[in-house]
């Protein structure tokens, strides 16, 4: 054991985790020291989640070892998917994770502790500790979850694992989190920070570890990486942040006007603004109004691409094939019967076009990684004849390479005359759109077109009224 | 709907039904009148609480009626004749309930089917014990159930005590909070280091305890038992939980509401007999009242959502 | 080799049959098979309906099946009034009653947004009252031709079994080959995702709740004809039975997955178990305990087999 390992909060030595023949993690040696913020990056399926699960004790390693020189107490995980009990209050959720709170009068300290933690991480938050979690917005829930992660809970947090913590947070709140992480590490705490937003990783990480195919391919201080170098290390040549080189062309007639939005034929319309300001709800209402609860989807004008895959998109018991074809059964079927031959060839075609990584389309959809499941959902939507494609933040948790593939397909389909309504929490994506609506408090605060679409203008429209009030 | 408003509608529907009853039959507005109206409410309230605890952890118990019947048979025979054996048998029944919860969780069985199977088992055992109606209530239970406290009739007082105690147990205590959390998000409870199997067993055990209390209370009122005495409690208890503002999934339940729901169901039966409705329609009218109250709840929650 | 879930139900049914026949050393095997196929047919018909509803996903179950059977049987027999040649009139009345009850159930679920368990429970109380009111304690006999048909055979197999088989094939085709079937299965897995994928989820749900009521009404009509008249409690045992055969048959109670052959096998099994215990001279209590134990054992066996895969 080296000196570094002795003082480490957690040390992995040649740790591997196999699921049957699948080597999710293939021999990783790594240690995290107090005061360190480790940025962990890698594609979907690179082994990040498995690594996290080894560190927080959810899995035991198949071989190698995971040690906690100072004991395993104080290791906390904040998960990517929201994992609070929605029927309990904020304070009760803290108490679930705090076994010391029991007996008579456990509520008062629970309330005080979660409030203190929220105040520390997110100054001027507006969360009532007695509010039930399902009354909170997604962003607020994520804030609560993070605050529970950093709360003392009868000891103190030594290592906090943040897995995509900012995926539902808007930029202002995310910045508060990043500065808290820096402060936490400066005070001797350790953080493992996983994010697809490389800017954030550079902003907080003191060291960056790149995972690829279950192995560490780079492990260096953050300042030794450039953005491009990091993307290259992950194994994709496509660079982040390249402005699309499309020329903005004149679009056709208006095909839809609803919810204050307007979109023309062949146009890619972006919805932006701070997360949770009504964009997703507006899109869902718009989509539901375009389709019917009662009549079949044959020739429906609109299709929907979900971002929240388990909730809105994936049909979990089915194969990849059936998940793709569900949107076109009515079109290709004969006399109410499914046309299995057409179904098969259509799915094969889209597997090629969008690059779904599987050797058999009859495999269950859940055998795919998140990014590939997302591709299936794209294929489902694009395979239909619908002229309007509604996308609710579909790039959540999708790796850079897949994103570039999908951007290209969106552009190609738009050129054929299809209209895209695209809500994204990543400003950079919105900047590629032809027209952008910025939301604030469930209302449209700005409509930008052409050269007006810049990150600055979008931010301005998202924030300006907030500062005025 | 927020938790604190979840209780409003059950209270209102009970109050409306009570006013209607008093209006139809002013003599019911008395100590003895109330006692008569809510006579059978105590066992139903206890059974409703038992069902609520199961619904709270996202399961449903289709065996509760048969279980309460079996407990009634045990109470009217063994507990009366040989109290020690009776107590042991009843404790064994509670433990069986806890084991059922553990098995359902460990083997990932659908609760609706396991309890369905168990309903045959309980029913068979009850038939075995008391093939024909009979037995007698232990004197102390009889005394307890027919006690006449000053000012407030026993049935009403007992309902208030049951509501208060279960509120403390389910809503205020740490254990109740964790169990409700289990209904809300099992994974997060497991991640926080709780033993989910033990928690499920605890929930089912508690439910079994309330089921036993319901059976004993029932015998105290009826003084004898038969194998089918409480079969309708399965559906009554489910209806009571829902009337009381509970939901089938997500751990959203209200013990006070459940007790009020049970009172409402009991009162509905009495109300219909005051109406001098043809017996043909009595059952149907109960169904109609159930639908009416739930419709009111819908309007209520829509209003809540709009504000 | 992976065994289909329905193999369990059929194996169990065969074992129960063998155990009974063994006791009587072969005598009465024909009668037993006839009775199993006839009574099994009722359980199969209501089970198929219940299976469609359960496929819709968690919380979907129809508790009004017994009341539907009773009301449809009562009204049909009343309409026929023992006059010969009115069998089709009776059938039409039964099916129309079923449709009406299905509509009423769905309206409660859809417009009032009641949980299906509560909606069908409350509605069944009303149907029960209607049946009591229209029946007036009279027991009207079915027309002779209809009674003969419902107890008769075709190529040695009871007519009822043929009807159940026909319905089973119909439901199987619907689920496996048609677009509606796909929609139903998708809605059962995740209703919100299905709706967002363009499936008319409400129409699927409506059709399903109508079908289950029509299936129950048909079963009630046949049962009343078979047993020589409608009785007020004639549907009672089919409440738990309909759910039990779905689950024993290997359909997932969580929805989105259904199993037609399993329902048929389970329906035969449920009857054969009871007759097996009867022929071994078991009392009512023991019979009930063993039936329950067997249901649980099968569910456990099916689940451990599933988790080993």
In chain C, what residues touch A284 (CB-CB under 8 Å)? 196
Number of cross-chain residue pairs from A and C with Cβ atoms under 8 Å apart: 84
Residues listed for chain B? 307
Going residue by residue through chain B (307 aa), what tens digit of pLDDT does each one get?
A: 455 666 788 888 899 889 988 888 888 888 888 888 888 899 999 999 999 999 999 998 989 999 999 999 999 999 988 999 999 999 999 999 999 999 999 988 888 888 988 998 999 999 989 998 988 999 999 988 888 888 888 889 999 999 999 999 999 999 999 999 999 999 889 888 899 999 999 999 999 999 999 999 999 999 889 988 888 898 889 889 988 888 888 888 999 999 999 999 888 878 887 777 777 787 788 788 888 877 877 777 665 554 4
Segment A41-61 shows an average pLDDT of: 80
Indicate the pLDDT class of residue A56, thresholds 50, 70 and 90: confident
Domain A3-234 has CATH 1.10.1380.10: no
Domain ranges in chain C are 6-16+29-308
C9: number of Cβ within 10 Å: 28
Query: In terms of CA atoms, which chain A residue is nearest residue C180?
Result: A336
- B227 in Cβ contact with C283 (< 8 Å): no
In chain A, what residues touch B252 (CB-CB under 8 Å)? 87
- CA A321, A322, A324, A330 torsion-angle sign: positive
Strand A159-163, strand A75-78: pairing? parallel
Q: Which of B66, B248, B291, B292 would best serve as a mutation to test chain C binding (most C beta carbons within 10 A)?
A: B291
**Residue owning tokens 């994928």:** C197
Task: List the CATH code of the domain at A254-468.
Answer: 3.40.50.300
Q: Chain C contact for B291, CB < 8 A?
A: yes
DSSP string covering chain C = ----THHHHHHHHHHHHHHHHHHTTTTTHHHHHHHHHHHHHHHHHHHHHHHHHHHT-TT---TTHHHHHHHHHHHHHHHHTT-TT-HHHHHHHHHHHHHHHHHHHHHHHHTS---HHHHHHHHHHHHHHHHHHHHTT--PPPPHHHHHHHH-EETTEEHHHHHHHHHHHHHHHHHHHBHHHHHHHHHHH-HHHHHHTT--HHHHHHHHHHHHHHHHHHHHHHHHHHTTS--TTTTTTHHHHHHHHHHHTT--TTSS---HHHHHHHHHHHHHHHHHHHHTT--HHHHHHHHHHHHHHHHHHHHHHHHH-
Tokens at A468, concatenated: 């005025």
ipTM for this model:
0.86
Query: In terms of CA atoms, which chain C residue is nearest residue B287?
Result: C122
The SS3 assignment for A198 reads helix
In chain A, what residues touch C258 (CB-CB under 8 Å)? none
Return the higher-pLDDT residue of B238 and A460: B238
Residues 167-196 of B with CB under 8 A from A: 172, 174, 177-178, 180-181, 183-185, 187-189, 191-194
pLDDT surpasses 50 at A141: yes
DSSP string covering B99-124 = HHHHHHHHTT--HHHHHHHHHHHHHH
Q: What is the CA radius of gyration of chain B?
A: 19
Contact B3 A132 (CB under 8 A): yes
Segment A234-248 shows an average pLDDT of: 47
Tokens at B118, concatenated: 């168990």
Indicate the pLDDT class of residue C1, thresholds 50, 70 and 90: very low
d(CA C61, CA C115): 9
Q: What is the CA radius of gyration of chain C?
A: 19
Q: What is the mean pLDDT of chain C?
A: 86
Q: Chain B contact for A80, CB < 8 A?
A: no
Residues 278-317 of A with CB under 8 A from C: 284, 287-288, 291-297, 300, 303-304, 306, 311-317
Domains and CATH numbers, chain B: 34-300 (1.10.3470)
Tokens at A106, concatenated: 């456990």
Q: How far is it between the farthest Cα atoms of chain B?
A: 60
Domain ranges in chain A are 3-234, 254-468
Measuring CA to CA, how many Å separate A223 from each of A204, A207, A219?
11, 8, 12
SS3 sequence of C136-190: CCCCCCCCHHHHHHHHCEECCEEHHHHHHHHHHHHHHHHHHHEHHHHHHHHHHHC
Contact A314 C197 (CB under 8 A): no
Strand A22-32, strand A10-19: pairing? antiparallel
Return the higher-pLDDT residue of B232 and C167: C167
The SS3 assignment for A35 reads coil
In chain A, what residues touch C199 (CB-CB under 8 Å)? 297, 326
pLDDT score, position A6: 64
Contact C196 A380 (CB under 8 A): no
H-only helix segments in B223-254: 233-243
**Residue owning tokens 């509970």:** B246
Half-sphere exposure of C12 (CA within 13 A, CB side): 30
The beta-strand segments (E) located in A324-461 are 388-392, 419-423, 435-440, 443-449
d(CA A89, CA A468): 32
Tokens at B104, concatenated: 């359902």
Question: Please, what is the angle between helix C179-189 and helix C29-55, to 10°?
Answer: 70
Name the β-bridge partners of A13. A65
pTM: 0.79
Contact B290 C290 (CB under 8 A): no
Q: Chain C contact for A318, CB < 8 A?
A: yes
Choose the most confident range, by mean pLDDT, from B111-120, B205-214, C277-286, C296-305.
B205-214
Using left for φ > 0, alpha for ψ between -120 and 50, and beta otherwise, residue A393 falls in left
Contact A86 B193 (CB under 8 A): no
A336: number of Cβ within 10 Å: 14
d(CA A149, CA A168): 16
pLDDT surpasses 60 at C308: no
Partner residue opposite B239 with nearest CB, options C118, C286, C303: C118
Segment C183-201 shows an average pLDDT of: 90
Rounded to a whole number, what is the distance in Å from the CA of C111 to chain A's nearest CA? 13
Indicate the pLDDT class of residue C241, thresholds 50, 70 and 90: confident
pLDDT score, position A21: 62
Q: Which of B248, B269, B283, B297 would best serve as a mutation to test chain C binding (most C beta carbons within 10 A)?
A: B283
Identify the weakest region by mean pLDDT among A29-33, A45-49, A119-123. Answer: A45-49
pLDDT surpasses 90 at C209: yes
Query: In terms of CA atoms, which chain A residue is nearest residue C258?
Result: A317
Q: How far is it between the farthest Cα atoms of chain A?
A: 73
Q: Chain C contact for A334, CB < 8 A?
A: no
Tokens at A81, concatenated: 């998917």
- C168 in Cβ contact with C44 (< 8 Å): yes
Quick one: which H or E segment has residue A325? helix A320-325
Q: What are chain A's partners, defined as 3 or more CB pairs within 8 angstroms? A: B, C
pLDDT cut 70: percent of chain A above it? 89
Contact C196 A304 (CB under 8 A): yes
Contact A87 B250 (CB under 8 A): yes
pLDDT score, position A297: 57
DSSP string covering A43-90 = -TTSSHHHHHHHHTTSS--SEEEEE-TT-STTEEEE-SS--S-TTSBH
Q: What is the mean pLDDT of chain A?
A: 82
Q: Which of A295, A299, A329 would best serve as a mutation to test chain C binding (most C beta carbons within 10 A)?
A: A329
DSSP string covering A95-109 = HHT-TT--STT-HHH
pLDDT score, position A3: 60
pLDDT surpasses 60 at A329: yes
d(CA C111, CA B222): 40
Quick one: which H or E segment has residue A322? helix A320-325
Identify the weakest region by mean pLDDT among A128-137, A316-325, C128-137. Answer: C128-137
Question: Please, what is the angle between helix C65-80 and helix C201-226, to 10°?
Answer: 50
Rounded to the nearest 5 percent, the helix, strand and coil shares of chain A are 40, 25, 40
Tokens at B86, concatenated: 């009776």
In chain B, what residues touch A93 (CB-CB under 8 Å)? 181, 188
Closest CA to A149 of A126, A120, A127: A120
Q: What are chain C's partners, defined as 3 or more CB pairs within 8 angstroms? A: A, B
Q: Chain A contact for B2, CB < 8 A?
A: yes
In chain B, what residues touch C290 (CB-CB under 8 Å)? 124
């Amino acid at each position: 054991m080296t000196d570094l390992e002795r003082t480490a909060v957690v040390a992995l030595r040649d740790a591997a985790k196999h699921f049957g023949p699948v080597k999710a993690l293939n021999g990783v040696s790594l240690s995290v020291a107090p005061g360190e913020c480790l940025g962990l990056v890698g594609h979907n399926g690179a082994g990040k989640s498995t690594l996290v699960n080894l560190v927080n004790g959810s899995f035991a390693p198949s071989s190698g070892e995971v040690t906690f020189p100072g004991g395993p107490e104080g290791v906390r995980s904040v998960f990517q998917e929201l994992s609070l009990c929605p029927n309990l209050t904020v304070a009760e959720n803290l108490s679930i994770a705090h076994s010391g709170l029991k007996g008579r009068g456990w509520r008062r300290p629970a309330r005080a502790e979660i409030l203190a933690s929220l105040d520390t991480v997110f100054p001027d938050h507006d969360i009532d500790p007695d509010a039930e979690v399902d009354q909170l917005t997604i962003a607020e829930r994520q804030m609560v979850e993070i605050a529970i992660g950093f709360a003392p809970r009868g000891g103190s947090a030594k290592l906090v694992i943040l897995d995509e913590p900012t995926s539902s947070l808007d930029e202002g709140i995310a910045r508060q989190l990043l500065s808290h992480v820096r402060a936490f590490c400066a005070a001797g705490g350790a953080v493992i920070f996983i994010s697809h937003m490389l800017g954030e990783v550079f902003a907080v990480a003191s060291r960056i570890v790149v995972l690829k195919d279950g192995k560490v391919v780079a492990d260096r201080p953050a300042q030794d990486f450039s953005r491009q170098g990091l993307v290259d290390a992950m194994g994709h040549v496509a660079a982040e942040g390249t402005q699309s080189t499309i020329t903005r062309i004149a679009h056709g007639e208006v095909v839809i006007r609803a919810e204050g939005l307007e979109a023309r034929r062949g146009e890619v319309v972006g919805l932006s603004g701070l997360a949770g300001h009504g964009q997703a709800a507006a899109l869902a209402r718009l989509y539901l109004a375009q389709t019917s609860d009662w009549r079949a989807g044959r020739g429906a004008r609109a299709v929907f691409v979900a971002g929240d895959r388990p909730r809105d998109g994936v049909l979990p018991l089915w194969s990849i094939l059936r998940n793709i074809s569900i949107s076109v059964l009515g079109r290709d079927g004969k006399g109410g019967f499914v046309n299995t031959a057409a179904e098969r060839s259509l799915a094969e075609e889209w597997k090629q076009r969008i690059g779904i990584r599987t050797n058999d389309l009859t495999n269950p959809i859940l055998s795919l990684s998140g990014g590939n499941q997302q591709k299936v959902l794209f294929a489902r939507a694009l395979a239909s004849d619908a002229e309007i494609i509604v996308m609710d933040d579909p790039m959540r948790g999708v790796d850079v390479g897949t994103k570039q593939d999908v951007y290209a397909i969106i552009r190609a389909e738009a050129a054929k005359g299809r209209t895209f309504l695209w809500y994204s929490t990543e400003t950079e994506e919105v900047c590629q759109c032809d027209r952008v609506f910025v939301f604030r408090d469930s209302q449209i605060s700005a409509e930008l077109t052409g050269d007006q679409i810049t990150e600055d203008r979008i931010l301005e429209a998202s924030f300006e009224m907030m500062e005025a009030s | 709907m927020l938790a604190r408003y979840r209780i409003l509608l059950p209270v209102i529907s009970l109050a409306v039904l009570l006013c209607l009853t008093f209006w139809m039959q002013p003599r019911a507005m008395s100590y003895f009148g109330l006692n008569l109206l809510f006579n059978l409410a105590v066992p139903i309230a206890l059974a409703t609480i038992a069902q609520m605890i199961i619904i709270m952890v996202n399961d449903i118990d289709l065996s509760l009626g048969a279980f309460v019947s079996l407990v009634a048979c045990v109470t009217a025979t063994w507990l009366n004749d040989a109290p020690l054996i009776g107590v042991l048998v009843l404790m064994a029944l509670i433990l069986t309930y806890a084991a059922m919860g553990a098995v359902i969780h460990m083997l990932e069985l659908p609760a609706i089917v396991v309890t369905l199977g168990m309903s045959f088992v309980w029913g068979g055992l009850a038939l075995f014990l008391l093939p024909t109606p009979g037995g007698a209530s232990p004197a102390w239970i009889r005394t307890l159930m027919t006690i006449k406290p000053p000012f407030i009739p026993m049935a009403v007082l007992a309902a208030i005590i049951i509501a208060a105690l279960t509120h403390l147990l389910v809503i205020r205590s740490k254990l109740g909070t964790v169990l409700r959390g289990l209904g809300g998000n099992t994974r997060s409870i497991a991640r926080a280091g709780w033993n989910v199997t033990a928690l499920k067993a605890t929930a089912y055990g508690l439910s079994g305890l309330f089921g036993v209390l319901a059976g004993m209370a029932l015998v105290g009122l009826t003084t004898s038992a038969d194998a089918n005495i409480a079969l309708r409690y399965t559906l009554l208890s489910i209806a009571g939980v829902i009337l009381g503002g509970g939901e089938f999934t997500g751990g959203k339940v209200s013990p006070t509401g459940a007790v009020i729901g049970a009172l409402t169901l009991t009162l509905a039966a009495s109300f219909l007999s005051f109406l001098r409705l043809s017996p043909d329609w009595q059952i149907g009218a109960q169904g109609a009242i159930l639908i009416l109250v739930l419709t009111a709840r819908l309007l209520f929650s829509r209003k809540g959502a709009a504000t | 080799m992976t065994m289909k879930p329905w193999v369990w139900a059929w194996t169990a049914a065969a074992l129960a049959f063998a155990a009974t026949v063994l006791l009587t050393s072969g005598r009465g095997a024909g009668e037993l098979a006839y009775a199993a196929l006839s009574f099994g047919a009722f359980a199969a018909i209501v089970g198929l309906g219940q299976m469609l509803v359960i496929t819709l996903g968690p919380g979907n179950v129809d508790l009004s099946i017994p009341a539907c059977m009773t009301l449809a049987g009562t009204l049909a027999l009343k309409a026929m009034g023992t006059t010969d040649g009115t069998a089709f009139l009776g059938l039409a009345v039964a099916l129309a009653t079923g449709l009406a009850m299905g509509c009423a159930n769905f309206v409660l679920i859809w417009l009032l947004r009641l949980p299906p368990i509560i909606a069908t429970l409350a509605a069944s109380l009303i149907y029960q009252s209607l049946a009591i009111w229209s029946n007036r304690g009279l027991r009207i006999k079915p027309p002779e031709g209809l009674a003969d048909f419902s107890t008769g055979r075709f190529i040695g197999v009871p007519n009822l079994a043929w009807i159940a088989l026909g319905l089973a094939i119909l439901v199987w085709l619907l689920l496996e080959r048609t677009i509606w079937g796909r929609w139903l299965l998708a809605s059962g897995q995740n209703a919100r995702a299905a709706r967002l994928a363009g499936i008319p989820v409400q129409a699927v749900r409506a059709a399903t709740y109508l079908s289950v009521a029509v299936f129950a009404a048909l079963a009630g009509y046949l049962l009343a004809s078979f047993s020589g008249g409608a009785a007020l409690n004639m549907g009672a045992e089919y409440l738990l039975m309909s759910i039990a055969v779905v689950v024993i048959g290997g359909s997932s109670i969580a929805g989105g997955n259904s199993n037609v052959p399993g329902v048929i096998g389970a329906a035969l099994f449920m009857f054969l178990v009871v007759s097996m215990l009867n022929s071994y001279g078991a009392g009512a209590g023991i019979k009930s305990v063993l039936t329950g134990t067997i249901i649980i054992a099968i569910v456990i066996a099916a689940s451990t087999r599933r988790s080993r895969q």
